[in-house]
Amino acid sequence: HDSPMQIEIIADITCPWCFVGLKRLRIALEQRHEVPTTILWRPFLLNPDLQNGTIDRLPYLSRMFGSESRIQQFYEAIDSAGLTTGIPFSPDVDFTPSSINAHRLISLAKSTGQHAQVAEEIFYAYFVDGRDIADIGVLSAIAAETGMDSSSVQTFLSSDEARDSVFEENARIHRLGINGVPSFVIANNHVVSGAQEVQTLVHILDFATRTEGLGADGPAMTTTMLSHGVGMP
């Protein structure tokens, strides 16, 4: 069976665990480079009410975690996960941007098959360089860096095009019962929740590769749950 195995990434661009999850998936796929795959990005909104602009990150984290010590634990866990995946998380990022425009840019990049690369560049811009990825100018510059045409990107983002579809897709994902990110759907069958370790992802890829050819008689939806990193801001 030669058709590529589809891997859906359900993620929000303002979620550091999603960045870690994407990097770990990339490493796992490199270890299984003989398996042809296509990656599809599915937008998830951690802050659907934040339609534009940014909010201060500390009050937001306080609402999520409740205490200083838990915020500290969150930062330490993220930093150490970043070290093992090659992400130098910046300690200076003090705002949480709306991710709607970022999701729209990623959807635009689908037509050229670049959306996973564009998503990774946006993650880097926000978490490493501290750039405001709600800003259309910033996103247009990132698009240009990945070889997209920045003026057509600017025009697209300045319109309302594909805005509704981000909300529709987010609602559809919630209806499927997926409430935490990152989540991965591998070969339409295997739902993986959380920023799993590389080796776990490799095992799941191997399992999916073995069972993929079984068609209608294959396994029912397999769910691998891990609370670590789910729904983190």
Mean pLDDT by 10 residues, the chain (233 residues): 87 97 96 92 94 93 92 95 97 95 96 89 98 97 94 96 96 92 92 94 93 50 43 45
The confidence score (pLDDT) of residue 111 equals 84
Outline where DSSP puts E strands in the chain: 5-11, 37-43, 54-56, 95-97, 183-186, 190-193, 222-224
**CA gap 4, 103 in Å, rounded:** 24
The confidence score (pLDDT) of residue 156 equals 97
The confidence score (pLDDT) of residue 1 equals 52
* Residues 6+ positions from 46 with CB-CB distance below 8 Å: 12, 14, 15, 99, 181, 231, 233
The confidence score (pLDDT) of residue 164 equals 96
pTM given for the model: 0.90
The confidence score (pLDDT) of residue 153 equals 96
The confidence score (pLDDT) of residue 175 equals 94
* Torsion of Cα atoms, 191 then 196 then 198 then 203, to 10°: -40
Is residue 4 within 8 Å of residue 219, measured between CB atoms? no
Cβ neighbours around 94 below 10 Å, total: 11
